[in-house]
Structure 1
């Protein structure tokens, strides 16, 4: 029988290596990867990828969709954000069920997101979130794990809204060990942030132009140290989101060297933007926490991005618009923080990695797809091989485009990367065996995205080790 699709004569790049090959797809999965010297198999559609690179579809482990924080709600929904993800070469997103307020439980918040995610065009997995510990939390976490939601995010700052106190963090870590889950952490030391912000407010320096001064690098690194101590004490695997300093990354690397199961994520904006943006004409475009850092810090972070110290690249996508941003840009304590980025994650990260050598391409695949799929225990994702989902991206590493926010699809009116010249834009995107983006444009597949139930964290690692051993 004819295959459904063949991507022919491309350079197929996995994190583990690359080869000139034909990728054969049927029934939504890769059924063969054939050496390019072999004849192209018959198929209902053949895409010629000569001169281009074929990689696994991206996995964005850190997105906020239809998120409510205080009186602000992001302007997107799952239809919009999943469409933008596909335009950007991302075929799987992970969102968060964060309680809107004290009246919403972690389980209720996650169930709400499960319902909203029915509109998604790409596959979706979820993280839960715990803000306040009570006697019902263990049972809620058990039910979440049974649903396939095997990670919990906690904030070490944002007092009075999303922050979890140290007792809650410690107890949830213990539950994650018991339930074979993963703890996600936003690491900024709350007392340092609160005090620093109050001092700037007293001096009249509380507008967006001073954001980077109110959340110092020390606050991030102090929080990472504390969380690592709790991880060592409990034995919990921990994933640090949006690390913005080389010091934070180095702390995680040192902990890994002494046997802790911990991971570093960074975001595209920390690799290409520095704190000079807060002196620009439109500083509200860059309101996020942690803020952009000094040029020296950015340069050092990029070195760690390239050398393997960082394990994933995620967008931390939050879809506010400029009207929302400007409403209280006079007071960073009141304005909404977060940047749109699910669509631009691939070209920004690819450009930040530097020259597209074979090793750099493999490193990019690890950061963009394979690493987040493995760490988040997503079966069938992040690899181009028989039996894996047919999530594929074809692109020309030499093609350069300028970012134009008017041509993006994220449901907002700006991009923090406006005007940046970037390489690594997707030309063809295949999600679940369907060609959703090609030279003719975007082909909306409708609400076909699946909710992905995740395996246990250590269970998935053990399976991977068995597979690796079998191949040796």
Structure 2
């Protein structure tokens, strides 16, 4: 057996969320085994890639993806092979999908086990969230089984009545169980009575097509739901994570709750900090059908400022792979068309461009793109380039710009909401689990090499991470 490392990334500018240093990154058996002094010659290895001073960051962790998702009569067109390949093309080496019951007959446990089986085809590492729609006496046992599987978070929707919506009683009871099981409650926060009434009013006036989507789901609906959910989290003591926040008011509610000691977190998505509601008056408004919808330009600018200053904790894609034929079936009625955007591949450049353009550092970008999602979701071995962590690495030149061409992406659909945008922050080399999967020669399919990742308990992981950072700072 060779005593040489499998891989060395030489002459790297290693950027973690808490700082940067020049180093040679040494990789063996899928792990980073050393950050060698860049002032000395690089160690010999079976393969050496010269970073030539370029930035090297930890592989992205996308905490919010929907793969092969069935909602009502629509199914996204991707599978794990497709989505994980696109993720790697975009510098993301870990995705977290959702086991959401496809109908009233599928249980939360069955939904997760189904996704876990599908994930055996993944090219990158995969973790899962559970989901609960309605409460019954079996739910506590099912949540225990999910925790034993390493699924330590559960998503609930406060809207979408008749499909995925959980009522307030269910949300509160699940929060209690997640405290007991040291888990994290995920919430899609939009106030359903406001949305249902607003949508009905627009329908009566004949303003229910895609061009009116942003008017049917007002900012007030999101912020009202966040406020109510935070009250339940405070009452139960449950850590709570809000997905795809689209308004600065929603983020500020979470920030205020954190100042009172609540364990609450804000996520946003690339489209909410770059696209505004003028897209619904464009030639192709169906490209932007998602919930919540895009907001006003003023709201977008304020949200981007909160991302740059760290009030928003994670950037996720909310990847949902519908194609234009599905989107165009019912553009006349937003209640009947599928909502969700493809974005796992473009998350890195859109986020990097938006954050650095707003004055954030590369370290801030790493926090939102990789370190924060790994830490908050209690994913071991991810989000940092350090000895003992997984060798998930991305080399890129921050000055290199490319134009998005939706037809030439790899997400299994035929469009991108960012088509034509000029973006920086594209990966040049991607290493996943010690394997070079993307370099100047193109993509190298690793096969079904992705692992299912069992996650730690939420508070257990936060305590261990805090202790680990303090220990590292002492040396």
- Same fold by TM-score, threshold 0.5 exceeded? yes
Matched, 1:299 2:301: yes
Aligned to 1:383: 384
CA distance in 1, matches of 2:166, 2:276: 29
Secondary structure of the structure 1 residue equivalent to 2:428: strand
| Residue matched to 1:216 | 218
Tell me if 1:365 matches 2:340: no
Contact 2:157-2:164 within 8 A present in 1 as well: yes
Corresponding residue for 2:158?
Answer: 156
Tell me whether 1:271 sits opposite 2:257 in the alignment.
Answer: no
Q: Deviations over 1:148-172 (max 9, x none)?
A: 0000000000011000000000000
Q: Matched residue of 2:14: which SS?
A: strand
Tell me if 1:12 matches 2:14. yes
Aligned length: 471
Question: CA contact under 8 A between 1:19 and 1:35: conserved in structure 2?
Answer: no
Tell me the equivalent position of 1:196: 198
- 1:240-319 equivalent positions in 2, closer than 5 A: 240-319=242-321
Which residue is equivalent to 2:87?
85
Deviation, structure 1 residue 138: 0.2
Tell me how far 1:145 sits from its aligned partner: 0.3
CA distance in 2, matches of 1:407, 1:51: 29
Deviation at 1:356, TM superposition (A): 9.5
Residue 397 of structure 1 aligns to a residue whose secondary structure is: coil
Counterpart of 1:95 in 2: which secondary structure? Answer: strand
Alpha-carbon separation, structure 1, partners of 2:274 and 2:50? 33
Q: Is residue 426 from structure 1 mapped to residue 460 from structure 2 by the alignment? A: no
How big is each residue's C-alpha offset from its partner over 1:368-402, in whole Å with a ceiling of 9 and x where there is no partner? 00000000101100000000000000000000000
Contact 1:238 1:263 in 2 (8 A): yes
What residue ranges of structure 2 are gaps of 5+ in the alignment?
none
1:147 aligns with 2:166: no
| Counterpart contact for 2:305–2:358, Cα < 8 Å | no
- Which range is displaced more, 231-240 or 44-53? 44-53
Q: Displacement, 1:406?
A: 1.4
User: Compared with structure 1, are the counterparts of its residues 220 and 27 closer, same or farther at alpha carbon in structure 2 (3 Å cutoff)?
Assistant: same
Which aligned segments of 4 or more residues in structure 1 are displaced greater than 3 angstroms? none
Per the alignment, residue 349 of structure 1 pairs with: 351
Deviations 1:432-461 (A, max 9, x none): 000000000000000010000000001111
Match of 2:401 in 1: 400
Deviation at 1:262? 0.4
CA distance in 2, matches of 1:356, 1:225: 28
Q: State the shift of 1:51 in Å.
A: 3.4
DSSP-derived class of the 1:8 partner:
strand
Aligned to 1:230: 232
Tell me which residue corresponds to 1:99. 101
Within 1, Cα distance between the matches of 2:292 and 2:40?
A: 50
- Any gaps of 5 or more consecutive residues in structure 1? none
Q: CA deviation at 1:470?
A: 2.8
Could you tell me which residue of structure 2 aligns to residue 130 of structure 1? 132
**Coordinate RMSD, CA, aligned:** 0.9
Shift of 1:469: 3.5
Measure the CA separation in 2 of the matches of 1:356 and 1:307: 9
Cα deviation, residue 355, structure 1: 4.6
The answer on whether the counterparts of 1:59 and 1:373 sit within 8 Å (CA) in structure 2 is: yes
Q: What is residue 446 of structure 1 aligned with on the other side?
A: 447
CA contact (8 A) 1:51 1:396 kept: no
Report if aligned partners of 1:356, 1:397 keep a CA contact under 8 Å in 2: no
- Return the alpha-carbon distance in structure 1 between the equivalents of residues 469 and 87 of structure 2: 31
Distance 1:299 1:284 in 2: 23
State the distance in 2 between where 1:25 and 1:217 align: 47
Task: Tell me the residue number matched to 2:59.
Answer: 57
Residues 308 and 358 in structure 2, CA contact (< 8 A), matched pair in contact too: no
Q: For residues 55-86 of structure 1, what are the alpha-carbon distances to aligned partners after superposition, in whole Å with 9 as ceiling and x for unaligned?
A: 00000000000000000000000000000000
Shift of 1:50: 1.1
Q: 1:41 aligns with which of 22, 40, 43?
A: 43
Are 1:55 and 1:393, in contact at CA under 8 Å, matched by a contact in 2? yes
SS of match in other structure, 1:426: coil
Deviation at 1:35, TM superposition (A): 2.4
Mapped contact 1:403–1:417 kept (Cα < 8 A): yes
Cα displacement (A) at 1:34: 1.6
- Is the contact between residue 56 and residue 382 of structure 1 (CA under 8 Å) also seen in structure 2? yes
Deviations 1:336-385 (A, max 9, x none): 0000000000000000012598x610000000000000001011000000
Write the distance in 2 (CA, Å) between the matches of 1:90 and 1:468.
23
